[in-house]
């Protein structure tokens, strides 16, 4: 399915606009594949100012690897400390809980950035891949 079949862009109470489920989604559903070139960065402080500003659209998919999402609707996804979606594999936005039609699709931004939560996200991704239990969320 294409991005537009499972999500709509609408006004968000979280921030500006966001992505919303256009139908009911169950845990584990592929919401969409994330398109964009892979960018490798090991030191953000070494980036020039223009590249650093472009990094606002990047989604981290592994340590030092990011997808430039400037042309993807994923750039509109908002943060939640209790997200209902995640990126457990490099280019897939997956429902990590039931998402009702019209509900905003959110991720925890801390899991899309290289840093101290990287190992925690790896463990959660492995658990999500193995587990079929309902309503599992990323760890706080």
Domains and CATH numbers, the chain: 3-130 (2.170.270.10)
Q: Say how far apart CA 31 and CA 21 lie, in whole Å.
A: 9
Q: Say how far apart CA 20 and CA 17 lie, in whole Å.
A: 10
Could you read off the pLDDT of 37-82 as tens digits, one per residue? Answer: 888 887 777 878 888 777 777 887 777 888 888 888 888 889 998 9
DSSP conformation class of 83:
-
Could you read off the pLDDT of 18-40 as tens digits, one per residue? Answer: 999 999 999 999 998 888 888 88
> Between 51 and 138, where is the model more confident?
51
Buried b (16+ CB within 10 A) or exposed e, 73-104: bbbbbbebeebbbbbbeebebbbbbebeeeeb
Dihedral sign of CA atoms 60, 71, 106, 49 in order: positive
Mean pLDDT score, 103-110: 90
pTM of the model: 0.72
Could you read off the pLDDT of 70-90 as tens digits, one per residue? Answer: 888 888 889 998 999 998 877
């Amino acid at each position: 399915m294409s991005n537009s079949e499972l999500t709509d862009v609408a006004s968000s109470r979280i921030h500006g606009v966001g992505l919303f489920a256009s139908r009911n989604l169950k845990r584990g559903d592929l919401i969409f594949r994330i398109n964009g070139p892979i960018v490798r960065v090991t030191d953000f402080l070494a980036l020039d100012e223009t590249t650093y500003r472009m990094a606002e659209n990047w989604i981290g998919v592994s340590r030092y690897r990011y997808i430039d999402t400037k042309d993807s609707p994923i750039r509109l996804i908002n943060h939640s400390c209790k997200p209902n979606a995640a990126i457990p594999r490099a280019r897939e936005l997956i429902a990590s809980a039931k998402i009702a039609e019209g509900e905003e699709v959110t991720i925890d931004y801390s899991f899309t950035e290289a840093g101290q939560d990287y190992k925690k996200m790896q463990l959660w991704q492995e658990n999500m891949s193995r587990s079929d239990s309902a309503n599992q969320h990323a760890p706080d």
